[in-house]
Structure 1
Amino acid sequence: MTLTVLLAAGHGVFEEYDAPLRAAFAAQGLDAALVTDAAPESVDYIVYAPSSPVQDFAPFTRCRAVLSLWAGVERIVANPTLTQPLARMVDPSLTQGMVEYVTGHVLRYHLGLDRPASKWAPLVPPLAQDRRVGFLGLGELGRACAQALVALGFDVAGWSRSPRAVAGIACHHGADGLRKVLQCSEILVTLLPDTPATANILNAQTLAQLPRGARIINPGRGTLVEDAALLAALDTGQIAAATLDVFRTEPLPAEHPYWAHPSVTVTPHIAAATRPDTASAVIAANIARVQAGQPLLHEVSRSAGY
């Protein structure tokens, strides 16, 4: 029987994913028809992006899984009509993109590449082993980025809400663990999911716990940072600089103070883009697993929200 796979996404997504998904289905030996419209009761799987007009999943009574094109699922996980299993996107290219983004900006701050050169005044940076980098979030992306920095010799500590063990990284959890990581982080990277427990985790109180002159890199979620508190900390010098890739409102409004602040680098949500070829392979492999009676990979915990 031919599977019906509904690509439920916004404008232009079908054109990007049509050929890669069909090729990935063929590579997995799946007899699957990719469609953008179908009777809900005929749909076997939904490939989903939050820009989709599909918001009521109740009519999709035959659907065996919803497969997100995005790593973040905060805009769908709480949907009360979603009773089907939900898989988040864990794409090797997405992970590699995030590793490159984080490594690049950590090295930029570590080496002082933003420092203006108005005269010949050599300032030798410390070696990586003497630079302390902290991570808030040790999930798939956080671990990959932290381990990349460990491989370069950085002194890396990480915090997660539940206990983790990652080779080469001083891992902490809980309120006391958060304080320890903040206090030792000359460069702090935030890669937590967007949940009620992580909202505004960088606020006036926690920013004050960082070493004076710390740098912040946030490619995680815009809601992790209390914007007014960060701007105030930048103005006092408590925080020397911030590189921000994600925001509460996107695109970032033209009048937002981040655009004009001399110590803020704004990037337009580019740290970890989903790439059609590799994402399609992930989706097809997951569908093949379910068809073979195997567990769905990267299934989202509804209670945890990720």
Structure 2
Amino acid sequence: MIYAELALSDVQINCFSPRKRQIPSCPASTTQSAGQRCFSVTPTLCKRLFRQILLATCGMMGLHFHTQEMPMPALLYKADPARAERWRVLFAEHAPDIEWRVWPDIGDPADIHYLGAWLAPDDLQELLPNLKVLFALSAGVDQLDLSRIPKSLPVVRLLDPGISHGMCEYASFAVLSLHREMLRYRQQQVEGLWKAQPLIPANKRRLGVMGLGLQAQHILSSLKPFGFQLSGWARSAHQVEGVTCYAGEEQLSEFLGQCDILLCVLPLTAQTEGILNRQLFERLPEGAALINMGRGGHLVETDLLDALDSGQLSAAVLDVLQKEPAPADHPFWQHPKILLTPHVAAMTQPESAFPGLLDNIRRFERGEAMQGQVDRGQGY
């Protein structure tokens, strides 16, 4: 009798020997008694043909066999319900071996190997004891309390080209709106004032980006054709073609001093929370403008109001706030120097995000490194 196991699918085929025999490699037992499992194969493709071959083989060997369906791994979705059906269709078409479940209908929690979520449940470890990977369905992970997530559980950011495209579109819109004085023209329209503002050539306008990660580099590349003078700053050193790069606290003042428009796409960490504050604004040239596409936690909102009212800053485009949605009495709503949008710079689209998510699942299944895995030490 031969024992073999090919862990390739959700169907397990067991053959039974009528005689007692030694099979050291069999995980069921080192000594097989009559009726114990001693041949196990789990095929991936052509399951019906595979069953027929095994039936004939076992018959010739005088063995009996039966098939047992093994539960397939499940992914639990805990994010925007409006997009759940689009995700389900993609998994059904391209990954039928992964069961799709939607929070709060988790079914048997033991089957759930993957969680795709914006926010993780508080009792994660107790609720999902067999969870293998937490996929954050977002470009960042600051909305997750990593201290409450087991360190042994990989947390993986979503690598979605659709998010990059959206961020580039929004950045271009925001930069060009400030460059071409659109906030002033909006106010002039309200006042019924027909007046041309001075036009500064793009190659005379200095644009600085805080953050030099993947999204920031995509944004800088998308802005190059306009001819702006481009610079970037990050906590660690970077080299980006066509961009003057600065690094660390020791070079922050030099970077800020040459920014006519400052765009923030930093990740939100303990080190970057509140970084857009009075002290930073005072290091910008008088009349500079601000764009915040990072997180609301980067900005000290009262300091921005003071800088706008004093003229230290001329305008701001904000896609994120400390509290979202903004309350009806928030001063940003009616401020003539602020353009406010409701966190729409980029939104996850299942069709563009799915390939990267599935690729990471397959990487995990093969024991390979996943792309976008969060560094717990850095928080992103």
Whether TM-score is above 0.5 comes out as yes
User: Cα–Cα, structure 1 residues 57 and 225, in superposed 2: closer, same or farther, change >3 Å?
Assistant: same
Cα displacement string for residues 189-227 of structure 1 (whole angstroms, at most 9, x for unaligned residues)? 000111110011111111011111111111110011110
2:100 corresponds to 1:34: yes
Are the equivalent residues in 2 in contact too, given 1:56–1:81 (CA < 8 A)?
no
Deviation at residue 122 of structure 1 after TM alignment: 6.7
2:337 corresponds to 1:271: no
Identity of aligned residues (%): 34
Letter in 2 for 1:304: Q
- Give the number of the structure whose alpha-carbon radius of gyration is greater: 2
Aligned to 1:89: 158
User: Cα–Cα, structure 1 residues 272 and 10, in superposed 2: closer, same or farther, change >3 Å?
Assistant: closer
Aligned to 1:110: 179
- 1:161-240 correspondence runs (5 A): 161-240=235-314
User: Cα–Cα, structure 1 residues 184 and 277, in superposed 2: closer, same or farther, change >3 Å?
Assistant: same
> What CA distance in whole angstroms lies between the structure 1 residues aligned with 2:108 and 2:139?
27
User: Cα–Cα, structure 1 residues 12 and 55, in superposed 2: closer, same or farther, change >3 Å?
Assistant: farther
Aligned to 1:139: 213
Aligned to 1:64: 132
Are the equivalent residues in 2 in contact too, given 1:77–1:305 (CA < 8 A)?
no
Deviation at residue 10 of structure 1 after TM alignment: 5.1
2:373 corresponds to 1:299: yes
Are the equivalent residues in 2 in contact too, given 1:24–1:281 (CA < 8 A)?
no
User: Cα–Cα, structure 1 residues 111 and 81, in superposed 2: closer, same or farther, change >3 Å?
Assistant: closer
User: 1:43 pairs with 96, 103, 112, which one?
Assistant: 112
> What CA distance in whole angstroms lies between the structure 2 residues aligned with 1:136 and 1:207?
13
Is the deviation greater in 38-47 or in 257-266? 38-47
User: Cα–Cα, structure 1 residues 125 and 21, in superposed 2: closer, same or farther, change >3 Å?
Assistant: farther
Cα displacement string for residues 23-57 of structure 1 (whole angstroms, at most 9, x for unaligned residues)? 3425xxxx11111213332211111121x5x2222
> What CA distance in whole angstroms lies between the structure 1 residues aligned with 2:197 and 2:165?
34
> What CA distance in whole angstroms lies between the structure 1 residues aligned with 2:237 and 2:297?
23
Question: Which SS does the other structure have where 2:257 is aligned?
Answer: helix
Cα displacement string for residues 131-164 of structure 1 (whole angstroms, at most 9, x for unaligned residues)? 1000111111111111211232211111111111
User: Cα–Cα, structure 1 residues 13 and 56, in superposed 2: closer, same or farther, change >3 Å?
Assistant: farther
2:315 corresponds to 1:245: no
Deviation at residue 259 of structure 1 after TM alignment: 0.6
TM-score, reference length from structure 2: 0.75
- Where structure 1 has 5 or more consecutive residues not aligned to the other structure, the ranges are none
Letter in 2 for 1:21: F
> What CA distance in whole angstroms lies between the structure 1 residues aligned with 2:216 and 2:314?
23
Question: Which SS does the other structure have where 1:259 is aligned?
Answer: coil
Deviation at residue 72 of structure 1 after TM alignment: 1.9
Relative contact order: is structure 1 or structure 2 higher (C-alpha 8 Å, sep ≥ 6)? Answer: 1
Letter in 1 for 2:144: I
User: Cα–Cα, structure 1 residues 120 and 195, in superposed 2: closer, same or farther, change >3 Å?
Assistant: closer
> What CA distance in whole angstroms lies between the structure 2 residues aligned with 1:115 and 1:71?
32
Question: Which SS does the other structure have where 1:58 is aligned?
Answer: helix
Is the deviation greater in 239-248 or in 75-84? 75-84
2:79 corresponds to 1:9: yes
> What CA distance in whole angstroms lies between the structure 2 residues aligned with 1:121 and 1:224?
34
TM-score, reference length from structure 1: 0.92
Number of residue pairs matched?
299
Letter in 2 for 1:5: L
Aligned to 2:4: none
> What CA distance in whole angstroms lies between the structure 2 residues aligned with 1:67 and 1:227?
31
Letter in 1 for 2:163: L
2:226 corresponds to 1:156: no
Is the deviation greater in 152-161 or in 61-70? 61-70
Aligned to 1:123: 198
Question: Which SS does the other structure have where 1:74 is aligned?
Answer: coil
> What CA distance in whole angstroms lies between the structure 1 residues aligned with 2:137 and 2:299?
25
> What CA distance in whole angstroms lies between the structure 2 residues aligned with 1:87 and 1:10?
18
